[in-house]
Amino acid sequence: MDSSRNYDWSNKSILIADDELHNFIILEKAMKKTNINIFHAENGEEAVKIFKENPHIDVILMDIRMPEMGGLEATKYIRSVNRNIPIIAFTAFALSDDEAIALEFGCDDYISKPVRPDFLLKKINEHLTK
């Protein structure tokens, strides 16, 4: 079932930080029907730059392991600028302590890849409607 039709995020924006283009394309496709405005960063440095240029972003989906600057470092920087923006850690390398580390670095939530699109959209919606 495609639950994305239940969400209208046309007045919202998301920053997806993921160095794997394949992952980004899947995420973009899953969110298409929500009408959310999507920004894409391929590494942590780019995520920080895009966030600085677009402080109106409503939620961030942050891959933990990326080249240049990792997701945890990027999260730490973004948290120093904005304490309130929801940041969801998103990683394929789910280790037992990854979730605790991500939360310690300032992430609000944690999702391991692969993820069902309906679950992902539900999680994002929880943070957009807080």
Asked if residue 104 is part of any domain, the answer here is yes
Q: Which helix (H) or strand (E) holds 52?
A: helix 44-53
pLDDT in tens, the chain (130 residues): 444 458 999 999 999 999 999 989 999 999 999 999 999 999 999 999 999 999 999 999 999 888 888 999 999 999 999 999 999 998 876 566 878 888 898 999 999 888 889 999 999 999 999 8
37 is a domain residue: no
Q: Which residue has the tokens 């929500």?
A: 34
Domain count, the chain: 1
CATH value at residue 86? 3.40.50.2300
- Domain membership of residue 54 (yes or no) is no
- Domain assignment of residue 72, given as a range: 65-111
What are residue 109's DSSP bridge partners? 88
- Give residue 112's pLDDT: 87
Q: Is residue 79 part of a domain?
A: yes
d(CA 46, CA 90): 16
Q: Is 53 part of a structural domain of the chain?
A: no
Nearest to 18 by CA among 59, 61, 54: 61
**Distance set, CA 101 to CA 13, 72, 74 (Å):** 26, 9, 14
